[in-house]
């Protein structure tokens, strides 16, 4: 992988997300749905404010580009944007619920297997080919999931759903590259806000009155939502999915270390075996890419 601005953007995004639990864990007593509501609404408001105040010319230029597209391309863009927004919000909710009410290990496991699941889905959806060793790593991944299911079936289910939703988001946004990524993210958040708004009066809890809630929500929206999402979308503009997949491992490894050494979560034998098999499958899965990088360095 060439170290350039796209590489650094992806690495920065996944590193930032790796420390997300530090801001989310203190909100453990608040309902996950409430955290989702405030996260989406605040992110939407801030994104729209930034676009109107500082990026108005960029918005006008992208509107011109959209109007110049054929009806087919317009439908493609709108479909990918709407689907991406729904997948992102669903992924957020499941991740926050798993982290605060299941375990940080289940969230870590989700993003460890996410690159492999992304490639499997790309095989069926985008018709991308897999090598023998990549299929072998998939088998190891399945064995790991089977072992983990005996020790923590609930955690495994959440891990798989989180991984699948984020994998589908990555695949959909890899093809959604006609417009400014910040504007795409703004549209996705606006759509998510419109969809969630009718449910807020019915399903939201008591309005929080603690200042720490709003301080942490601002930190989550700015530092752990807008900045890394923009960096990730920007990276997808100049990197292929497999390269982004390798850097994605930064996120769960940081989560895993925080879970053990900072939050002191319990590690069962099933967890240790499963995570070990996943780490082995990661090396095997990326063997071709790592070998290619070595060959380039030797020239």
- Using one digit for the tens of pLDDT, what is the confidence trace for 66-99? 999 999 999 999 999 999 889 988 998 998 888 8
Give the contacts of 46 (CB within 8 A, at least 6 positions apart).
221, 222, 226
pLDDT of residue 294 exceeding 70: no
CA distance linking residue 111 with residue 11, whole number of Å? 14
Q: Find the mean pLDDT for residues 97-117.
A: 83
Q: Find the mean pLDDT for residues 6-33.
A: 90
Q: Find the mean pLDDT for residues 106-134.
A: 80
Query: Residues 142, 116: contact at Cβ < 8 Å?
Result: no
Could you give phi then psi for residue 178, rounded to 5 degrees?
-90, -20
pLDDT-wise least confident of 95-99, 205-209, 249-253: 249-253
Query: Residues 89, 229: contact at Cβ < 8 Å?
Result: no
Query: Could you give the percent of the chain with pLDDT greater than 90?
Result: 30
120-129, 183-192, 231-240 — most confident range: 183-192
Query: Could you give the percent of the chain with pLDDT greater than 70?
Result: 91
Token pair recorded at residue 145: 């999931």
pLDDT of residue 34 exceeding 70: yes
pLDDT digits (tens, 9 = 90+) for 51-70: 999 889 999 999 999 999 99
**Predicted pLDDT at 297:** 42
pLDDT of residue 200 exceeding 90: yes
pLDDT digits (tens, 9 = 90+) for 141-193: 788 878 877 767 888 888 899 999 988 988 887 777 778 878 888 999 998 89
pLDDT of residue 40 exceeding 90: yes
DSSP sequence for 108-171: HHHHHHHHHHHHHHHHHHS-----HHHHHHHHHHHHHHHHHHHH-HHHHHHHHHHHHHHHHHHH
**Predicted pLDDT at 240:** 66
**DSSP element (H, E) containing 101:** helix 71-101
pLDDT-wise least confident of 97-106, 146-155, 223-232, 251-260: 146-155
**Predicted pLDDT at 79:** 92
DSSP sequence for 61-92: HHHHHHHHS-HHHHHHHHHHHHHHHHHHHHHH
pLDDT of residue 298 exceeding 50: no
**Predicted pLDDT at 226:** 86
**Predicted pLDDT at 23:** 93
**Predicted pLDDT at 296:** 43
Q: What rounded mean pLDDT belongs to the chain?
A: 84
**Predicted pLDDT at 37:** 94
């Amino acid at each position: 992988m060439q170290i350039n601005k796209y590489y650094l953007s992806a690495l920065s995004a996944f590193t930032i997300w790796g420390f997300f639990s530090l801001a989310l864990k203190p909100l453990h007593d608040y309902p996950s749905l409430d955290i989702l509501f405030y996260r989406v609404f605040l992110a939407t408001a801030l994104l729209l404010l930034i676009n109107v105040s500082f990026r108005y010319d960029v918005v006008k230029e992208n509107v011109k580009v959209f109007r110049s597209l054929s009806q087919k391309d317009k439908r493609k863009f709108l479909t990918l944007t709407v689907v991406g927004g729904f997948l992102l919000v669903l992924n957020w909710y499941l991740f926050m619920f798993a982290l605060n009410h299941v375990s940080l290990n289940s969230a870590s496991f989700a993003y460890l297997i996410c690159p492999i699941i992304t490639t499997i889905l790309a095989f069926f959806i985008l018709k991308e080919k897999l090598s023998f060793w990549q299929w072998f790593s998939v088998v190891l991944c399945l064995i790991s999931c089977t072992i983990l299911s005996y020790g923590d079936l609930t955690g495994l289910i959440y891990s798989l759903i989180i991984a699948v939703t984020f994998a589908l988001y990555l695949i959909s946004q890899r093809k959604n590259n006609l417009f400014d990524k910040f504007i795409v993210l703004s549209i996705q958040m606006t759509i998510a806000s419109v969809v969630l708004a009718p449910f807020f009066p019915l399903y939201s809890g008591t309005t929080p009155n603690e200042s720490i809630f709003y301080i942490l929500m601002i930190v989550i929206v700015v530092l752990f939502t807008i900045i890394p999402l923009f960096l990730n979308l920007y990276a997808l503009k100049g990197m292929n999915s497999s390269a982004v997949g390798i850097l994605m491992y930064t996120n769960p490894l940081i989560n895993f270390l925080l879970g053990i050494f900072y939050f002191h979560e319990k590690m069962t034998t099933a967890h240790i075996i499963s995570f070990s098999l996943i780490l082995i499958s990661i090396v095997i899965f990326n063997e071709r890419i790592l070998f290619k990088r070595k060959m380039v360095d030797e020239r």
